[in-house]
Amino acid sequence: MESIIKTLKVSEKGQIALPVEVRESANIKIGDNLILIQKGEKIMLEKAEFVEEKVEDDFKDLLKLTEISLEDLWGNKEDEIWNSYNKKK
C-alpha cells in the first residue's frame, strides 16, 4: 500500500477537503460515511463500513471465547448450576 502525504487547509467553518488521490485510493465515494477517531493530537479517518466489519468480527471471537470460558467454568458435572442448566435443555 502506497503512502500519500498531503497538506490540508482548514476553512473558517472548520472543514477540510480530502484530495482526489486520497478519495480514490481509499475508495471513498460521495455519500460514504466516515468515522473520525481522535487520540491526543492524532486523528484517523476510516470508512464506517470497515469499522462495522471489524466490530462484527471482534464480537464473533468474543462470543466464541465466552462460550469456551463458560464451558471451562461450568465443566464440573457435579456442580449444581451445571446440572440444573442441563435439565432445562
pLDDT tens per residue across all 89 residues of the chain:
678 899 999 999 999 999 999 999 999 999 999 999 899 999 988 888 877 777 766 666 666 666 666 666 666 666 666 666 666 65
What is the model's pTM? 0.54
At residue 3, the pLDDT reads: 87
Identify the residue whose cell numbers are 463458560: 70
Task: Give the CA diameter of the chain.
Answer: 69
At residue 49, the pLDDT reads: 84
In degrees, to the nearest 5, what angle opens at C-alpha 23 toward C-alphas 46 and 52?
25
For the chain, the structural domain boundaries read: 20-88
At residue 64, the pLDDT reads: 67
